[in-house]
Amino acid sequence: MNSTQASFFTLAAYFDTGLLKYFYYIIMLFLYAAIVGANMLLIAVICLNRSLHEPMYMFLCSLFVTELYGSTGLFPLLLVQILSDTHTVSSYFCFLQIFCLHTYGNIQFFSLAIMSYDRYVAICYPLQYNTRMTFSRVASLITLTWLSSFVGVLVMMSLSFSLQLCGNIINKVYCSNYSIVKLACSDISLNNIYGLVTTFFSVFGPVLLILYTYTKILKVCFSGSKQTRQKAISTCSPHLASLLNFTFGSIFEILQSRFNVSSAPKILSILLSVYWLTCQPLFNPVMYGMKMSKIRIICKSLLFRSRSLKAQAE
């Protein structure tokens, strides 16, 4: 069976939960609404306040847009499948979801890498920060992050789309590229080589850059004053927490896709497989909203202003 001729794929990781499926549906719907609400709030706060039109907040805005994009690639299909009895998805929609989820993962890692570079320049070269991190350079870095991810995933999908498949059952709750590659009964050596190369550049490359920048930041912190250390910790801790959270989820997803983890409880495998797509988009707005003083102050002022307006109306 050729992938271009397959009319649908079956997502076999779903199982019958009876009436509990309505409970799971409500939980997932609430989680999606919280993700959309939190990310859109912070995007609006950054875009509408000129005091936040700085490189760090522009990178954050791009990060929040990425999380909306990735969540929308997962949740609509997930919500439909929870209530469905057949758990099938058309091949074209399946490849569309693969494109969304894989580009989301790549953009997330690249965004975290350029955010670490931004903090490195701000802390290690504070006098040169404004000349190094200009508006045009920030816009170029964000554009390059998105375009390179789109191109890389499109090449990966073109290799998978041309494979000859011997089945259409995907043992996951969403479509993933490697799940389709495993269905192939033709040569997949090129897919594997390209997959390893792109994994290195999209995961290990950004992580190496992050490790380098934080090594330099720590060196400056230890040799600087107490005030310098406190400022570095306050600006870098949300980024480090976000990086560790996303890296954990991504590594587990890669291991689960590449190796057989059938011995693990099914519900645990499902929860951990969607962890990197659900917790990160909710974790980042909460973390940055609480830790970044400018964002926190503006959000509080908007909240209190709305309350005062409501009180005046009454």
Superfamily holding 8-313: Rhodopsin 7-helix transmembrane proteins (1.20.1070.10)
Domain extents in the chain: 8-313
Give, for all 314 residues of the chain, the pLDDT tens digit. Answer: 444 456 788 888 887 777 888 888 999 999 999 999 999 988 988 888 888 888 988 999 999 999 999 999 999 999 999 888 888 898 889 999 999 999 999 999 999 999 999 988 988 888 899 899 999 999 999 999 999 999 999 999 999 888 888 888 888 889 988 888 888 888 888 988 998 888 888 888 888 888 899 888 888 777 767 776 776 777 777 888 888 888 888 877 777 766 665 566 667 777 777 888 888 898 888 888 776 767 777 777 766 665 544 444 44
Transcribe the chain into DSSP letters. Answer: -BTTT--EEEETT----TTHHHHHHHHHHHHHHHHHHHHHHHHHHHHH-GGG-SHHHHHHHHHHHHHHHHHHHHHHHHHHHHH-SS-EEEHHHHHHHHHHHHHHHHHHHHHHHHHHHHHHHHHH-GGGHHHHS-HHHHHHHHHHHHHHHHHHHHHHHHHHHTSBBS--EESSSS--HHHHHTTB-S--HHHHHHHHHHHIIIIIHHHHHHHHHHHHHHHHHHHS-HHHHHHHHHHHHHHHHHHHHHHHHHHHHHHHHHS--TTS-HHHHHHHHTHHHHHHHHHHHHHHHHH-HHHHHHHHHHHHHHHHHHHHH-
First to last CA, the chain: 67
pLDDT value, residue 309: 44
pLDDT value, residue 127: 87
Q: What is the pTM of this model?
A: 0.86
